[in-house]
Structure 1
Amino acid sequence: MSATQIDAVTLDGAGPLYDQIRRAIRDLILAGTWPPGTAVPPEHALMEKLGASRMTVHRALAQLAREGLITRRRRSGTIVASPPASHAMLDILSIPQEVGELGQAYSCRILQRRDGKAPRELAARFELGRSANVAHLTLLHFADGAPHVLEDRVIHIATIPQVVDESFAQTPPGDWLLKHSLWTQAEHAISAVAAEPEEAELLKIDPGAPCLLVERRTWNQAEPITAVRLLYPGGRHRFIGRFGPYGAV
């Protein structure tokens, strides 16, 4: 733990002290100032810096642990948690794991990549501002060598600047983002569409064949992270979600 790290924890003076501490640490995590794996200052350091009792600091950290933002370990201390990689119907999908769960071998190919200002057509497709600086990637994912899903994605460079130096040679963009970014909200839509001729050729289906289009956008607070369109051949896929009255089960 560095002095800069403990100094970054500042209170806003609003509400109970434990909740101020919780919000201060939460905001550092969600802003990416403390990325996954960062050591959270120990209780005694927070007590001294913030003039709080051990019980107050402990309560704040316990709440952050319940929210899944930190992981508390008795001997090794507290660290910022990695975001979970979920695979339910409306959660963030890992395509390699999706293919693996089918008992098939995964591979992918990057068809094109362009970094820079979004051209008019791309801005319209993903509802981007014309000044948006993005990495635009098109990928084809395979299961046992057969086309599985066509991915069209933009990643906002201002939010995730390290994307500029990432080739995605080892890890596809969706899984890379799960490891290197935190998201606080997502928008998700599934629709039925007909395959355009170029898409059909890549997916090895007939032009106009029915497809499932999964569209998702994610943000870290107000900052956009990524927007993606995943086109699945409709005859080969279905999405299943099991849920109860209080959410997924």
Structure 2
Amino acid sequence: MATARVSKSANGKAQAAPQALHQRIRADLEEKILSGRWPPGYRIPFEHELVESYNCSRMTVNKVLSGLAAAGVIERKRRVGSFVAKPLVQSAVLHIPDIQAEIAKRGEAYAYELLTRKRRKATKDDLERLGIDKSCDVLVLSCRHIAKGRPFALEERLINLDVVPPASEIDFTRVPPGTWLLGHVPWNEAEHRITASLADDVALKALTLKKPAACLVVERRTWRKNKIITSVRVTYPNDLYQLTARFTPTGLRS
């Protein structure tokens, strides 16, 4: 079993061994990316710039960038540079889908309607949905996604404005909140909950369904460095959407 290397200080207390240089550099770059300071699409400084900034060898920088690329955090383009990777938008169970991109990929006409937008102090129910105890400001959004002229999904979303302040400046009348978040806010953890349910009155009206109407409901929470970004509930008519994942013994297969 592997054990952590420790050393002892002058007073005899054990101290953890310092991180290797490449680990410290990687942690620093990851912090810039996950904090949002370097958003998706941002060009990472060139290798020679990082060598100068961190006073290290080019081999060390290359090791760091190769590790970040292998983890899917950055994309390396030959003769162009390295860029913060855009989050995946595949429609697999363990990825965060972009509804607008999904519908376009199917070759269907897409339309979007913002139904409600409200900023408020988080209510007790809001905090429960976000899974936090501390009070915060939230942006409450409800919108309808349309494919080929038919309501495709009802999106009901909370955005934690303490973590994503720029969202308060977006009116979301033209761009869906999910699309905007995927393009502007890095995330490193997500949780899905998928259920079959009868549509409630809000969903019946938004999706123009008749009672009783069976629906697929996807509830998802997304975090960045242990801070909740958003909680969303997306309701689909049961005949319009399916979630598919192909597995190998070691996990998802793309």
Normalised by the size of structure 2, how large is the TM-score?
0.84
Specify the alignment match of 2:246 in structure 1.
242
The alignment status of 1:133 with 2:134, answered yes or no, reads no
Q: 1:107 aligns with which of 95, 106, 111?
A: 111
Looking at structure 2, the residues matched to 73 and 202 of structure 1 have their Cα atoms a distance apart, in angstroms, of 43
Within-5 A mapping of 1:47-62: 47-62=51-66
Q: Aligned residue for 1:175?
A: 179
Higher helix share: 1
Structure 1 position 128, deviation (Å): 4.8
RMSD: 2.2
Does the alignment pair 1:63 with 2:67? yes
Does structure 2 retain, via aligned residues, the 8 Å contact 1:119–1:130? no
Partner secondary structure for residue 227 of structure 1: strand
Take 1:151 and 1:225, find their aligned partners in 2: how far apart are those partners?
16
1:194–1:15 Cα change, 3 Å: same
The percent of aligned pairs where both chains have the same amino acid is 39
Corresponding pairs, count: 238
**Greater alpha carbon shift after TM alignment, 122-131 vs 196-205:** 122-131
Structure 1 residue 101 displacement after superposition: 3.9
Q: CA deviation at 1:94?
A: 1.3
Q: Deviations over 1:17-66 (max 9, x none)?
A: 11221111111111112222333233333333333222122211211122
Specify the code of the residue in structure 2 equivalent to 1:52.
C
For structure 1, the residue ranges without an aligned partner over 5 or more in a row are 1-12
Alpha-carbon distance, 1:246 to partner: 2.2
Query: In structure 2, what is the equivalent of residue 92 of structure 1?
Result: 96
The amino acid that maps onto 1:87 is S
TM-score normalised over the length of structure 1: 0.86
Give a deviation string over 1:197-247, Cα, whole Å, max 9, x none: 232122222233221110000001111111100011224433222222222
Q: 1:34 aligns with which of 23, 35, 38?
A: 38
Question: Cα–Cα, structure 1 residues 206 and 159, in superposed 2: closer, same or farther, change >3 Å?
Answer: same
How far residue 133 of structure 1 moved from its aligned partner, in angstroms, is: 0.8
Structure 2 equivalent of residue 119 of structure 1: 123
- C-alpha distance in 1 between matches for 2:41 and 2:79: 15
Secondary structure at the counterpart of residue 239 of structure 1: coil
